Amino acid sequence: MVHRFLLSKIFLIILIFSELIVSLFINNDLSMLKPENLILIMGVLAGFAITIYTFGLSLLPQLQGLLTNNTDIEQETKDRYFKSILKGFVELKEDVWIISLSFVLSILIVLTAAIFGEQIKDFTIPCYSPRIIFNLWVFLKLSVLVITIRAFIDLIRSLLALSEIILTLLKDNSEIN
């Protein structure tokens, strides 16, 4: 319930922000939202996401070695570390999935805008009292971009949390030896 409320507020903010961008940059002259740049940005973020995920997977043998070789850590603590690691990789996987999906979605938005551009450009929100006309394409492009950036930040946060676990285990091992 809280997530839906928060998500609706985020999309309302994006909607208002997209209208502000349209009014400030007439004719979608904001270079970040031009089709070729949007696809490039999304592709680069997708590439980074896959690279970060692959890097995270390469940490698994080191994590496993640190956990199994340390006999001074109780099994309960090892299980807690293992659950944290699994949770971190589930988050990494979800973020990579969202970013990859956003990349495909941005391509579809660009293609749809190229085909139907002027026919379905503007829309209004029926329950919104002052009738403001919003630019559909700017709204969609900004939404995908914001979702992707949010997922990318979460991806980095998850990887840093995993590296923190490694640092803690390394510290525990060095104190023992």
pLDDT, mean of residues 95-109 = 88
pLDDT, mean of residues 108-135 = 67
Q: Which helix (H) or strand (E) holds 123?
A: strand 122-123
Q: How confident is the model at residue 123, as a pLDDT?
A: 58
pLDDT tens readout for residues 21-79:
655 655 545 666 677 778 888 888 888 888 888 888 887 887 777 777 777 778 888 78
Percentage of the residues of the chain whose pLDDT score is greater than 90: 0
Q: How confident is the model at residue 2, as a pLDDT?
A: 42
- Between 76 and 121, whose confidence is greater? 76
Give the other-Cβ count within 10 Å of 102's Cβ. 25
- 151, pLDDT greater than 80: yes
Q: How confident is the model at residue 29, as a pLDDT?
A: 58
Give the confidence band of 1 by pLDDT, cuts at 50, 70, 90: very low
What lies within 8 Å, CB to CB, of 38 at 6+ separation is 32, 106, 109, 110, 141, 144, 145
